[in-house]
């Protein structure tokens, strides 16, 4: 089978029926359907029809055939009886394992990495996302070239030749891949540099990045808080591109909210590497909102996956607030005991109903109060044009007008304070207070 045929397997008009298979730890009491639940969601997203599930309980995969020989024969029989067009593995396979499985089942074998690459390819919209998916696909393809070209092995040369046409074709193909990988890397590097300049050129606004497991509700939360109109579907990886929108807080202050690509268990390392530039937004954020689907039976494991990916991105030490979304779908909240144990300060919300939204806002504002400076400034009448800028970039705690100008108590980052003091505002002194006004932080405007 040609490589192009494999890539298009999930995009035919008539969906391909597939048998899902994987390995579960010895003694795991879950059914095959439960073990492969997420793989089935991925297969559905890639437009495959699940015709059956098969799991073998063992400690490690067989290095040559993944399944044991007996189980592999059983898988081949199931494929034959179900007339399935493909088999899909819950793990990434080595080229040798995939070759052995395909030889046994007589239909294409797609591993988890290739399936996720197909999904990313279907959902990539921007030039950057398309390049990132292409880079990951090329890196995935490189070690599998020899298996793709096995039909040429019979063309090897005679005595005195180190190789023949088959091996030459492999070398040509490998060189073409390397050339294209280098070109894509250069273009992504250019885009990444532009993105760094773009982030640096933004006004000094506090930035929050939404991160979390795929389908945890990040895009839906962003839409609710900012009316961003970001695509939000009940499907895995419905959005791949980073989007940043302003979130206007009560009182007029604006902060930036960034929606990022979702994480996933066993995410191919090629994708983590190629999407690093997209996730630069998260690395430069002042705060992470880590969303968890509280209604998922695998919520605790998904939270651990998010932690692992953040560590890979060197973002594990960033300040964070854990948000337990879809709380309206949790019938017995005692079932969240494990999550509460790991994240005792997590904020339960429902993006769908609005439950917990005030508490989330209060938690964000509380975090702002702990990391920003609080002081009184005097805005002279001659610098009155800064008034709207202060309201947009800082939290105004109190204000009143005096003969000298507007006396304001604000909470802001050092960068914003520096800019304000450099453009006309000054730190208030005791003699700036009117004689009939008490000095202190609790004055009302």
- What pLDDT does 15 receive? 85
- What pLDDT does 60 receive? 92
Please count the other Cβ atoms lying within 10 Å of the Cβ belonging to residue 285: 25
What is the mean pLDDT, run by run of 10 residues, along the chain of 445 residues? 44 79 92 92 92 94 95 96 96 93 95 90 80 87 66 40 54 87 90 73 81 87 80 55 84 88 76 64 83 90 88 85 95 86 93 94 95 92 86 90 89 89 87 56 45
Task: Report in angstroms the alpha-carbon separations of 162 from 48, 86, 154, 156, 415.
Answer: 43, 37, 14, 9, 65
- What pLDDT does 440 receive? 46
- What pLDDT does 88 receive? 97
- What pLDDT does 162 receive? 40
- What pLDDT does 161 receive? 36
Task: Report in angstroms the alpha-carbon separations of 226 from 233, 246, 248, 260.
Answer: 17, 6, 7, 15
- What pLDDT does 111 receive? 94
Pairing state of beta strands 395-401 and 109-110?
unpaired
Helix (H) or strand (E) holding 23: strand 16-24
Tokens of 204: 């000094």
Q: Is 238 exposed, middle or buried (0-12, 13-18, 19+ CB in 10 A)?
A: middle
- What pLDDT does 241 receive? 63
- For the sheet with 109-110, list strands across it: 48-57, 16-24, 86-89, 109-110
Pairing state of beta strands 109-110 and 86-89?
parallel
- What pLDDT does 356 receive? 95
Helices (H) and strands (E) in the chain, counts: 17, 14
- What pLDDT does 199 receive? 67
Q: Is 191 exposed, middle or buried (0-12, 13-18, 19+ CB in 10 A)?
A: middle
- What pLDDT does 81 receive? 95
Please count the other Cβ atoms lying within 10 Å of the Cβ belonging to residue 376: 20
């Amino acid at each position: 089978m040609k490589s192009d045929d494999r890539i298009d397997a999930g995009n035919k008009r008539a969906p391909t029926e597939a048998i899902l298979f994987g390995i579960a730890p010895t003694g795991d009491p879950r059914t095959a359907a439960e073990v492969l639940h997420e793989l089935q969601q991925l297969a559905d997203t890639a437009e495959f029809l699940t015709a059956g599930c098969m799991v073998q309980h063992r400690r490690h995969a067989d290095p040559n055939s993944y399944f044991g020989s007996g189980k592999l024969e059983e898988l081949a029989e199931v494929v034959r009886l179900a007339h399935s067009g493909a088999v899909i593995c819950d793990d990434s396979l080595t080229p040798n394992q995939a070759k052995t499985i395909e030889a046994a089942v007589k239909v294409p074998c797609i591993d988890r990495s290739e399936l996720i690459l197909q999904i990313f390819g279907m959902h990539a919209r921007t030039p950057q996302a398309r390049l990132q998916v292409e880079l990951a696909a090329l890196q995935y393809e490189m070690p599998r070239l020899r298996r793709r070209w096995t039909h040429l092995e019979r063309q090897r040369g005679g005595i005195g030749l180190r190789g023949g046409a088959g091996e030459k074709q492999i070398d040509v193909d490998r060189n073409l891949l390397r050339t294209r990988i280098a070109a894509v890397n250069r273009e992504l590097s250019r885009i990444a540099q532009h993105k760094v300049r773009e982030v640096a050129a933004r006004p000094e606004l506090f930035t929050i990045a939404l991160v979390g497991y795929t389908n945890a509700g990040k895009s839906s939360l962003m839409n609710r808080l900012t009316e961003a109109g970001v695509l939000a579907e009940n499907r895995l990886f419905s959005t791949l591109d980073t989007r940043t929108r302003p979130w206007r807080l009560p009182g007029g202050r604006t902060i930036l909210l960034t929606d990022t690509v979702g994480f996933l268990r066993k995410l191919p390392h090629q994708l983590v590497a190629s999407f690093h530039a997209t996730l630069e937004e998260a690395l430069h954020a002042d705060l992470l909102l880590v969303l968890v689907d509280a209604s998922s039976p695998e919520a605790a494991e998904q939270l651990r996956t998010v932690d692992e990916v953040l560590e890979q991105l060197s973002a594990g030490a960033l300040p964070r607030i854990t948000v337990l979304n879809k709380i309206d779908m949790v019938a017995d909240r005692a079932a969240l005991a494990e999550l509460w144990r790991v994240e005792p300060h997590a904020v339960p919300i429902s993006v769908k109903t609005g439950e917990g939204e005030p508490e989330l806002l209060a938690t964000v504002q509380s975090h702002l109060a702990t990391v920003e400076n609080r002081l009184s400034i005097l805005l002279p009448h001659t610098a009155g044009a800064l008034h709207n800028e202060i309201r947009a970039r800082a939290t105004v705690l109190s204000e009143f007008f005096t003969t000298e100008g507007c006396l304001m108590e604000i909470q802001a980052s050092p960068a914003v304070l520096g800019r304000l003091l450099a453009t006309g505002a000054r730190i208030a002194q005791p003699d700036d207070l009117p004689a009939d006004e008490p000095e202190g932080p609790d004055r009302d405007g």
